[in-house]
Structures are given as structure tokens and as C-alpha cells.
Amino acid sequence: MAKPAAGLSDAPAARPSSKREPAGLSPTVVLVETRVNLRIALPLRLVAPALALAALLTPARALDCPPATPCTVGNGTYALQLPTDWDRRSPLPLLVFFHGFGDTPGDVIRRPDMAALVERERLILVVPAGLDRRWHIRPGGPRPRDDLAFATAVVDDVMARLPVDPAMVVAGGFSAGGFLTWTLACDRPGRFTGFLPVAGAFWDPVPVGPCPGGPVAIRHVHGLDDRTVPLAGRIVSAGARQGDIRASLATALVTNACSPVPQESKAGELTCTQWNGCAPGGNLAFCTHPSGHEMDAAWLSDGLAWLRRQSTPRGTR
């Protein structure tokens, strides 16, 4: 299993200067500035080769977080996995995946199915680290860090490092990470264009909707025999109760203004219910499997394909 390629990227190449040309230079000469603050006057016919050379000599931001070293942003870190043989110039989809309670980014990155997902889908996988291996988003719970703001900062940092396709910036998560994914979708969707939570929805009390973030595309996967996060939710500790999954779906249905009459379909082991006729940018699907509290990267692949089929993804309308 390949280790996470943390933060590898190419820095921006040197570019033609937008400053006024010094007196005496011919109109056929362009000033080229490099990252080492060197200004060179070159004939136009030599500009392209010079830019290529400058790109090779420019230090890459990859040095900020080399392999096996977490990338740091604000008051947190994240792990980064890139497809092999990627030129790091062609924009790729971005999947930000939030780990479950007690897990770490390394636990996710080391999963063979997640490594295969990165190669199969040709995407950038980012796994943020929860403080103390958990996410602090429960209503009335402690807030040592604003995890919604942290998620936004992670996306901004990745997009500053690497070329990302802005039409496919997806949040996903398992269990506690699914709870965070739902909360992001409702309260602060930001640059995310779709949401793929697995086995986790809102904490109780579930917001009644519509969500302040507006319509979003969200596809939820859950096990019918899940006893860790049952469909009806459960009490975890004093004052902490998981919300009913169906109540979360009702909130999304109101927010997305979808038709109340759904359609059912099969996708491998998943049985999916989809609501159509939603507001622009809004789509909703709920898929179940017969097993328990599980996560399979194949469900994320299915979800990515589902997002690509949506006619008006959020952020592009």
C-alpha cells in the first residue's frame, strides 16, 4: 500500500510581468520574473523556453508537507493522497473525507479500497484530522475548535497547493465524519459541490430546515443493521443523542425543495431512493445496504458518479 503523498505539488511557474517595461526595451522583449526575484529581459521567441526552465527551478510547495508528514493549516492538520503518475497540473476532483470517531487520517489513507479509489477516480483525497480523534459539532457540546471553519480552511489550503476542479469539490465522511458532513452541508457548504455521508447524519435535535446553506446535492448511505448509528439514532451519553436518519432526510428534502414522491433503484448491493424536481443545486438520495456499521469506498465511487449526473451542481448554477 502506498503511503500518503502529503502535499506534493508543482509551484506556479514564472510568469510574464504585468509591470511597465523599462525605457529602451523593444516591444518584442518581455520581462520574466522568477521566484528567486530575478528579472531578465528576453526576446519573445525565448520566453516560452525560459518559463519552462523557471518552472523546473522553482521550489515546489510540496516541500511544505512531504510524504508521511501531515499538511498543517490553522490549528489542525490533514493527510493528502494523490494518484500516481499525475502531472500535478491537470485539475482533478477533490474528495475531503472526514474519519470516524477514534480514527486518524492515516487509518483512512492506509485502507486498500481508499487507495484504489484515488487511482480509479483520479482524484485528490484529503483526510483532515479531528482534535483528539473526534469532531466537535454536537449542539451544546464542547467547541475546542470550529470544525466547520477548519474544514473550509483545509479546502482553501489544498486549492492553493494543487490544481482542483472547482466543479467537483466533494465532502464525505464515515460515522462521526458523516455527522460532520451533514452539518457542513446544512450550515456552511462553502466551496463544496456535493456531499457523500456514510452512517452518520445530524445530532439531535435535528434542524427542521430549511438549512441556512441552501440547496445541496447529498447522497447518504446507511446499513439497515447498523447498531452503532441506528437509523432511529440512539443515546450516546448524557445530553448526547444521535438524530434520526429519516429526520435528517426530511430536513434535506425541505431545504432542496424536492418532489415528495421518490424513485427507487438498485446500485450493486445498495437500494437507493432518490427525490427529483429539486431546486437548482439541490439533489437528494438515500441508499441502504443490508449490513451494519460499515464503510466501502465503492459507495463513494457510486456517489461521485451520481454527483456527475446531476444537471445543476452547486457552485456552477
Residues 245 and 204 in one domain: yes
Residue 315 domain-assigned (yes or no) = no
Residues 41 and 164 in one domain: no
Look up the CATH number of the domain holding residue 259: 3.40.50.1820
Q: Do residues 129 and 79 lie in contact, with contact meaning Cβ atoms separated by under 8 Å? A: yes
Same domain for 52 and 160, yes or no, is no
Does residue 191 sit in the same domain as residue 129? Answer: yes
The CA-atom distances, in angstroms, between 225 and each of 16, 204, 245, 283, 289 are 60, 21, 13, 26, 8
Cell of 167: 466543479
Q: Which residues pair with 197 in a beta bridge?
A: 173
Pair (92, 128) in one structural domain: yes
Nearest alpha-carbon partner for 278 in 205, 214, 187: 214
The residue from 10, 44, 68 where one domain ends is 68
Burial of residue 250 (CB within 10 Å: 0-12, 13-18, 19+) is middle
Domain for residue 316, yes or no?
A: no
Residues making up the chain, counted from first to last? 317
Buried b (16+ CB within 10 A) or exposed e, 76-93: bbbbbbbbeebebeeebb
Query: What is the rounded CA–CA span in Å between residue 251 and residue 297?
Result: 26
Pick from 68, 87, 108: which residue ends a domain? 68
What is the Cα–Cα distance from 242 to 233, expressed in whole angstroms?
A: 5
Kindly state whether residues 161 and 33 are assigned to the same domain: no
Shared domain check, 87 and 170: yes
Q: State whether 56 and 101 are in the same domain.
A: no
Of 68, 89, 115, the position where a domain reaches its end is 68
Rounded Cα–Cα distance for residues 201 and 224 (Å): 14
Collapsed DSSP state (helix, strand, coil) of residue 212: coil
Q: Is 28 helix (H, G, I), strand (E, B) or coil?
A: coil
Diameter over CA atoms, the chain: 78
317 domain residue, yes or no: no
Q: What is the extent of the structural domain holding 46? A: 1-68
Same domain, 155 and 289: yes
* Ordered per-residue pLDDT tens for the chain, 317 residues: 333 333 323 333 333 333 333 333 333 233 222 233 344 454 545 544 444 444 333 333 443 466 568 999 988 999 999 999 999 999 999 999 999 999 999 999 999 999 999 999 999 999 999 999 999 999 999 999 999 999 999 999 999 999 999 999 999 999 999 999 999 999 999 999 999 999 999 999 999 999 999 999 999 999 999 999 999 999 998 889 999 999 999 999 999 999 989 999 998 899 999 999 999 999 999 999 999 999 999 999 999 999 999 855 555 44
Asked whether the beta carbons of 151 and 184 are under 8 A apart, the reply is yes
Same domain membership, residue 279 and residue 161: yes
DSSP per position, 245-301: HHHHHHHHHHHHT--SS-EEEEETTEEEEEE-SPPTT-EEEEEEESSSS---HHHHH
Beta strands, E only, 83-146: 92-98, 124-128
- Alpha-carbon dihedral angle through residues 202, 207, 212, 217, given to the nearest 10 degrees: 50
- Alpha-carbon distance of 271 to 171, in angstroms, equals 22
Q: 61 and 75: one domain?
A: no
Total domains, the chain:
2
